[in-house]
Amino acid sequence: MSRAADRLKVVLNHLDRSHGAVRASFTSAQNVSYHHPQVLQYTSDTGVLTPEQRIAYEENGFILIRKLVSDQDIDRFRKEFERICKREVKVPGLVVMRDVTIAKSEYVEGEKAVTKLQDYQEDLELFRYCTLPQILKYVECFTGPNIMAMHTMLINKPPDTGKKTSRHPMHQDLHYFPFRPADRIVCSWTAMEKVHRGNGCLVVLPGSHHGTLLEHDYPEWEGGVNKMYHGVRNYDPNHPRVHLEMEKGDTVFFHPLLIHGSGMNQTDGFRKAISCHYASSDCYYIDVKGTTQENISNEVKELAAKKYGVDDTVTFQDTWALRGRLVQGDRASM
Ligand SMILES: CCCCCCCCCCCCCCCCC(=O)SCCNC(=O)CCNC(=O)[C@H](O)C(C)(C)COP(=O)(O)OP(=O)(O)OC[C@H]1O[C@@H](n2cnc3c(N)ncnc32)[C@H](O)[C@@H]1OP(=O)(O)O
Ligand SMILES: Nc1ncnc2c1ncn2[C@@H]1O[C@H](COP(=O)(O)OP(=O)(O)OP(=O)(O)O)[C@@H](O)[C@H]1O
Ligand SMILES: O=C(O)CCC(=O)C(=O)O
Ligand SMILES: [Fe+2]
Ligand SMILES: [Mg+2]
């Protein structure tokens, strides 16, 4: 652990013991500010994260909580996923994604055709994931008390067809989001079964959330790449990488600037995970015109036009405001 972190730990332990008064004097000392202007920028103290966990998130940009979601809940999500794939339920607004190699070749039936469900917020059973109290308890540490579920996904990473299209290029999720501040956004991602290197677990670059939003584009992959799977154009290939191997129910919370991706699925099973991106409802929308996000903004608007026949008065921001759902507190500016 770095020296700065050691120092933080001392301060936090002290705060833990003597609360208010010390905190107040500490805060004013912080405002005067000498060598360490922002002490803990990414989390707030709600009594849920230990000082060690807060420091770890500060340093790494992610935190893994083992066995946060019960097997029973995950089995229910899995059943609902199967019902959706068999078209036994129809979910308004749901986007069903197929792998590019499957989408462009033969017709495949049922869940083997589905790489990802997006925008499941109108499915009561799946959306229960986004409202689980034990998840929200952690989310609040990052977003504060007013919480919106902004983006929902169930990922069913297929066995690779041999073209390596089951990979997800390294990216920052903030690339897709026209709202800020980034520090009040967090993703929760829960393994629905054991995920490991062989079936394409998440790969993260710890600490990369300290950087800025980088330019994203389609990677130049020989075997093709899935629509909207943009990757960071240039990232340091020597940055240490961590493979997040997880058991069923384990949940990782990560910052939207954290560079991450996932490898090929080299097994013959479909690797499943369920996720939600949360933001504080006190966040605000930004105009992405003239920024690196213009490319994804155009793609999403095109898709909204094609799928819903909306005209170009529907903005990139609108597509998010329409999909976002309040899950705790008050809906403020989002
Ligand atoms: C009211 C507003 C609604 C707006 C909806 C917008 C949804 C957009 C999602 C935004 C992404 C936010 C993500 C934030 C978090 C970070 C991440 O998740 S990173 C990865 C993000 N990207 C994705 O997850 C996108 C995944 N892709 C999809 O969801 C779908 O594949 C799709 C791009 C939405 C396409 O679905 P759909 O239009 O329903 O597809 P079809 O009608 O079947 O096919 C149309 C056309 O596209 C070809 N195609 C299909 N699948 C793929 C593919 N995987 N790759 C490349 N091409 C594909 C298909 O062959 C058809 O082509 P044709 O030439 O027209 O025949
Ligand atoms: N040529 C590439 N360009 C950009 N990103 C890549 C490239 N190759 C792999 N990646 C990304 O790096 C991450 C890890 O991929 P990789 O296939 O190396 O998996 P892995 O789990 O590290 O497997 P391995 O055990 O072989 O190293 C994924 O997000 C993947 O999409
Ligand atoms: O589950 C995965 O492979 C990662 C998906 C991901 O990072 C994303 O969709 O943003
Ligand atoms: Fe992502
Ligand atoms: Mg590799």
Task: Give the Å distance between the CA of 262 and the centre of ligand 2.
Answer: 7
HSE-CB for 267 with a 13 A CA cutoff: 14
From the number of C-beta atoms within 10 Å of its C-beta (0-12, 13-18, 19+), residue 320 rates as buried
**Which of the 8 DSSP states describes residue 315?**
-
Nearest CA to ligand 2 atom 4: 169
Estimate to the nearest angstrom the gap between the alpha carbon of 86 and the chain centroid.
27
Q: Which ligand is nearest to the CA of 177?
A: 1
**CATH 3.30.499.10 given to domain 63-328:** no
Predicted confidence pLDDT, tens digits, the chain (334 residues): 455 555 555 545 544 443 333 333 344 444 444 554 558 999 999 999 999 999 999 999 999 999 999 999 999 999 999 999 988 999 999 999 887 776 666 666 677 889 999 999 999 999 999 999 999 999 999 999 999 999 999 999 999 988 888 899 999 999 999 999 999 999 999 999 999 999 999 999 999 999 999 999 998 888 888 889 999 998 888 999 999 999 999 999 999 999 999 999 999 999 999 999 999 999 999 999 999 999 999 998 888 888 888 887 888 899 999 999 999 999 989 9
Nearest CA to ligand 3 atom 7: 261
Q: Assess contact for 186 and 277: CB atoms under 8 A.
A: yes
Nearest CA to ligand 2 atom 20: 263
Round to whole Å and give the CA distance between 257 and 183: 9
Task: Give the Å distance between the CA of 72 and the centre of ligand 2.
Answer: 32
Q: Structural domain boundaries of the chain?
A: 3-59, 63-328
Nearest CA to ligand 3 atom 2: 262
Task: Give the Å distance between the CA of 219 and the centre of ligand 2.
Answer: 12
Enter the pTM of the model: 0.86
Task: Give the Å distance between the CA of 169 and the centre of ligand 4.
Answer: 9
Q: Assess contact for 8 and 53: CB atoms under 8 A.
A: no
Instruction: Spell 213-241 as b/e; 16+ CB within 10 A means b.
Output: bbebebbeeeeebbeebbbbeebeeeeee
